[in-house]
Chains A and B, each alone.
Chain A
Amino acid sequence: MTYSDWLRADRLPHIYCAGCGNGTVINCTLNAVDRMGWKKEETVFVSGIGCSSRAPGYIVTDSLHTTHGRALAFATGIKMANPDLHVVVFTGDGDLAAIGGNHFIHSCRRNIDLTVVCMNNQIYGMTGGQGSPTTPRGALSTTTPYGSQEPAFDLCELATAAGANFVSRWTSYHVKELTRSIHQGLGVPGFSFIEALVQCPTNYGRRNKFRQVMDQVEYFKTHGILVQKAHRLRDEGLPIPPDAILLGDMVMRDRPAMGVKR
């Protein structure tokens, strides 16, 4: 099997804009799932609302496309009621960190055996480009026309502090690394959180000096530094660039978990 065997062919083409990074992340996720050797009938994809959350509709397994922000609460019910199912959640920055923030931290705290892939495009894409909790300070959106004044969330730090067993961040540029980390997360008992920064040329890039799709992907490439390197710089007393994107596996631990297959 390959990742394409997991796609629901009669639902294609998808709704994503040209140049969108979400398809890359879905591809990476399905490749990772495929590598796990999981059976389709034992795998469930769950999502909330937003561009990222449309992903389960394109996958052949059982899937639940729920209400805005609530995917993790629905997924908790599925996984607790039937721990034999593999449950993967697709979400986005608005879905997970704004309206769903409470469910996010409590799912991490419970360390429930889910793998959560967050497509962070730093914007509300589906509703036309409003600011989100991860919109960088100063960035333009339709609701921050003078530049966002709010500090942004670091989703990986949030997941780490709240108790997730596995936490990792990559971008749509880092396809191999992202696939590897999702694969690792799928195998970890407990809560696995993988953040994937993605370009949104339609609603983020064009308002924020990324005129071409590849401009933002290039930005991910040039501004990403491995978390190990950042730690080394810090230990050596050297400065970490303020606009650096910390990448890599942040946490790998074995806190007590819930909903693990018996």
Chain B
Amino acid sequence: MQGNTACAEGALAAGCRFFGGYPITPSTEVAEHMAAKLPKIGGVFIQMEDEIAGIASVIGASWTGARAMTATSGPGFSLMMENIGFAVMTETPCVLVNIQRGGPSTGQPTMSAQADMLQCRFGSHGDYSIIALSPASVQEMFELTVHAFNLADRFRVPTFLMADEIIGHMRERIEIPDSVPREERKPLTKGTPPFRADEDMIPGFPQFGKGYGVHVTGLTHDERGYPCATSPSLHEDLVKRLVEKVESARHEIADYRVTNPDAEVVFITYGSPARTVAQVLHDNPDKRIGHLRFRVVWPFPEKALDEFPDAKVFLVPEQNLGQMAREIERHTCIPVVPLPRFGGALHTPAELEKAMEAWR
């Protein structure tokens, strides 16, 4: 199965019943598969007039209680930034898939990249936090899409599947389970102000059509949901909560794979570069070479770096100029070496071995 198809199958297995989007290479197969499948199971597929409308329709659908998603790539992702901020501010669960391609601008529509990792984290205006996952196989395109829906519903935050073109278009055999884990949105207790958060900093969800009479606005709002855009303390408390509800749970959300924890030279990857590192480890069976692979990228799971107490260097191959390497650098005292390879070609094992030898 193709990676993009596996993503769509994961969404369907997770109970996604609304897809709103706009065609864009190299993500289109996600939409095409949803267009074929959703009408047959009582779901809705709608091709909107642009990506701005795509994510807007997804947010609207989510407020009716539906699990809803969109899929896109760089240029469309840029257009979505406005309403991603709206989803953050209104705490709307939704899943966005970005099959990354080369940018800036139209760039390389058919070539792989990982250059939207910081845009995903910071691309909309204002301070906020989101959750982002990064699959490194077709199986993970399925699994992490399911996981994304659960995280989005639990934390009421836009959740991103930050894949790359290589994983999206790769074909591998996968196993689809009979059922998948499902975490429901916590409903709002009637009579409770709709944006009053519980101890976990997440308010219950007042689904449209259930008699809550909730007003949802992108303006700074009080716990009743009413706009109050000029109170410094209200704004500060709201934005802090929106960030903290995600950041304070980052160790729980963290999801990574460790190989050779006693290693001195450690590769850190996410997405398709992980596969080249796996080849390097396969060809060099040496416990002194380690590999840390993130399946959750944001919120950044910095404790994962402690899994390698003997590490003397972190080597970070990415399909960009060093976006996550910069974040890793913020959390460690040992050298962090970005290994950028972009333009569409993946690192070769020989390149990574050469980089590794300099530290051995």
Residue numbers in A under 8 Å from B83 (CB-CB):
66-67, 70
Q: Which of B20, B44, B53, B226 has the most CB of A within 10 A?
A: B53
Bound Cα distance A42, B211 (Å): 8
Q: Say yes or no for A80: interface residue by CB 8 A criterion.
A: yes
Q: Assess A80 versus B216: contact at CB under 8 Å? Given A11-B226, A64-B60, A67-B86.
A: no
Interchain CB contact under 8 A, A56 and B215: yes
Q: Which of A71-79, A182-190, A223-231 contacts B (4 or more CB under 8 A)?
A: A71-79
Main secondary structure of the interface of A (DSSP, over half): helix
Interchain CB contact under 8 A, B18 and A81: yes
Interchain CB contact under 8 A, A67 and B218: yes
Residue numbers in A under 8 Å from B62 (CB-CB):
77
Q: Which of A42, A73, A106 has the most CB of B within 10 A?
A: A73
Interchain CB contact under 8 A, A82 and B209: yes
CB closest chain-A residue, reference B194: A62
Bound Cα distance A76, B57 (Å): 6
Q: How far is the CB of B198 from chain A (nearest CB, A)?
A: 21
Q: How far is the CB of A20 from chain B (nearest CB, A)?
A: 18
Contact residue among B18, B86, B209 (Cβ-Cβ distance under 8 Å from A66): B86
Bound Cα distance A61, B215 (Å): 8
Contact residue among B48, B208, B210 (Cβ-Cβ distance under 8 Å from A78): B208
Q: How far is the CB of A99 from chain B (nearest CB, A)?
A: 10
Residue numbers in A under 8 Å from B226 (CB-CB):
11, 57
CB closest chain-A residue, reference B214: A62
Interchain CB contact under 8 A, B60 and A102: no
Interface string of A87-112 (1 = CB under 8 A from B): 00000000000000011001000000
Interface residues on A, range: 20 to 34
Bound Cα distance A74, B217 (Å): 12
Bound Cα distance A64, B229 (Å): 17
Q: How far is the CB of B123 from chain A (nearest CB, A)?
A: 15
Q: How far is the CB of A181 from chain B (nearest CB, A)?
A: 26
Residue numbers in B under 8 Å from A44 (CB-CB):
208-209
CB closest chain-B residue, reference A42: B209
Q: Assess A65 versus B56: contact at CB under 8 Å? Given A82-B208, A102-B50.
A: no
Residue numbers in B under 8 Å from A8 (CB-CB):
215
Q: How far is the CB of A101 from chain B (nearest CB, A)?
A: 10
Residue numbers in B under 8 Å from A78 (CB-CB):
60-61, 63-64, 208
Interchain CB contact under 8 A, B209 and A84: yes
Interchain CB contact under 8 A, A80 and B61: yes
Residue numbers in B under 8 Å from A42 (CB-CB):
209
Q: Say yes or no for A51: interface residue by CB 8 A criterion.
A: no
Interface string of B60-86 (1 = CB under 8 A from A): 111111101000000000000011001
Q: Say yes or no for B285: interface residue by CB 8 A criterion.
A: no
CB closest chain-B residue, reference A105: B49
Residue numbers in B under 8 Å from A85 (CB-CB):
64, 208-209
Q: Say yes or no for A144: interface residue by CB 8 A criterion.
A: no
Q: Say yes or no for A40: interface residue by CB 8 A criterion.
A: yes
Q: Say yes or no for B177: interface residue by CB 8 A criterion.
A: no
Residue numbers in B under 8 Å from A63 (CB-CB):
214-216
Can you report 11 residue pairs joining A to B where beta carbons are below 8 Å apart?
A: A40-B211, A44-B208, A56-B215, A62-B208, A66-B59, A73-B48, A73-B49, A73-B56, A78-B60, A80-B44, A82-B66
Listed from nearest, the 3 A-B pairs whose CB atoms lie closest are: A77-B60, A77-B57, A73-B56
